[in-house]
Amino acid sequence: MKYAIVDGIKTEAAKGITGICANCGSMLIAKCGELRINHWAHKGERNCDPWWENETEWHRSWKGLFPTAWQEVLHFAKDGEKHIADVKTSNDWVLEFQHSYINPVERRSRTNFYGKIVWIVDGTRRKTDMKQFLSWISTGAQVSPKNPIFKASFPEECRLLKEWEDSNALVFFDFGQAAKEGDSLLWLVFPKITNGIAYVAYFSKKRFVELHTTGQFDIFAQNELNEIMKIIRDGIAQKNATNYRSALLSKTERQVRNIRRRGI
Ligand SMILES: [Zn+2]
């Protein structure tokens, strides 16, 4: 963990000091070596929160964009279950920074537990993810001329999308793509609303952070995002009405097309 409680204050690990875990109250040891980033560890290294993921530079640089008070915050469910949220904003949005693979069952329990959750996924862990994602997107089309929203079929051809496209929460992929000065691009993966097609949009990382730090993310989710979802839904409804061909493709046809596309 990044923080332990030392003399009542959230404190980062430093050589030779000990602290208390805000979650379980046990003693934490500061680990400041060369192999891993400075962190606090429980005795025996096992974290008291089974959902805890060992942190990388990527986690830390994301967390560091938010106030200390928002980082590593205990979130309680009504039944008393508690977990450490990577970031919990003053508007109760939980931001989970996910570096390693997470199985769908745990992903769903975490999403249900936190409710107002946004997943930010490290797209740089596997070398092939960004390449696959960009190649997948190149087969798609822009949904509306005004918005940078794209749709494409066969999301399962991109491994990262395959792992996340059925999420009913907001997901942002972070491939570390540079954008205009001091900014980088994130890819918003819209909650799944139809089978076989995924909708994504590029999104400024700077804006994402600002929407949270200025307390505007709720307004964004209620207005802008809902409007985009409406554009997508209307598009689907229109296509259904005009018997859009891909909607009628039988499973066999799809498989044949799949094989052709892969050039097998
Ligand atoms: Zn603990």
State the distance from the centre of ligand 1 to the C-alpha of 47, rounded, in angstroms.
Answer: 6
Rounded Cα distance between 22 and 2, Å, is 11
C-alpha 4 to ligand 1 mean position (Å): 9
Residue 44: per-residue pLDDT: 80
pLDDT tens for each residue of the chain, 264 residues long: 999 999 999 999 999 999 999 999 999 999 999 888 999 999 887 899 999 999 999 999 999 999 999 999 999 998 999 999 999 999 999 999 999 999 999 999 999 999 999 999 999 999 999 999 999 999 999 987 888 889 999 999 999 999 998 888 999 999 999 988 889 999 999 988 888 899 999 999 999 999 999 999 999 999 988 888 888 888 777 776 665 455 556 666 777 777 777 765
pLDDT of residue 245: 56
Ligand 1 geometric centre to CA of 60 (Å):
19
User: 117 and 93 in contact (C-beta within 8 Å)?
Assistant: yes
27 alpha carbon to ligand 1 midpoint, in Å? Answer: 8
| CA torsion angle 77 83 88 94 (round to 10) | -80
Round to whole Å and give the CA distance between 128 and 158.
Answer: 9
Residue 244: predicted pLDDT: 47
**2 C-alpha to center of ligand 1: Å?**
12
Q: How far, in Å, from the CA of 123 to the mean position of ligand 1?
A: 29
Distance (angstroms) between ligand 1 centre and the Cα of 174 equals: 29
Residues around ligand 1, an ion, CB closer than 5 A: 21, 23-24, 48
CA of 213 relative to ligand 1 center, distance in Å: 28
Could you tell me the distance, in angstroms and rounded to a whole number, from the CA of residue 264 to the centre of ligand 1?
51
Which of these, 53, 137, 36, 144, lies nearest to 98 by C-alpha position? 53
Distance 48 CA to ligand 1 centre (A): 4
Distance 257 CA to ligand 1 centre (A): 51
Could you tell me the distance, in angstroms and rounded to a whole number, from the CA of residue 13 to the centre of ligand 1?
A: 15
For ligand 1, the distance from its centroid to the CA atom of residue 34, given in whole angstroms, is 23
CA of 118 to the centre of ligand 1 (A): 24
Query: To 5 degrees, how large is the angle CA 135–CA 95–CA 47?
Result: 105
The DSSP code for 188 is E
Ligand 1 centroid to 41 CA: how many Å? 8
**Residue count of the chain:** 264
Ligand 1 centroid to Cα of residue 20, in Å, is 8
Burial of 19 (0-12, 13-18, 19+ CB in 10 A): buried
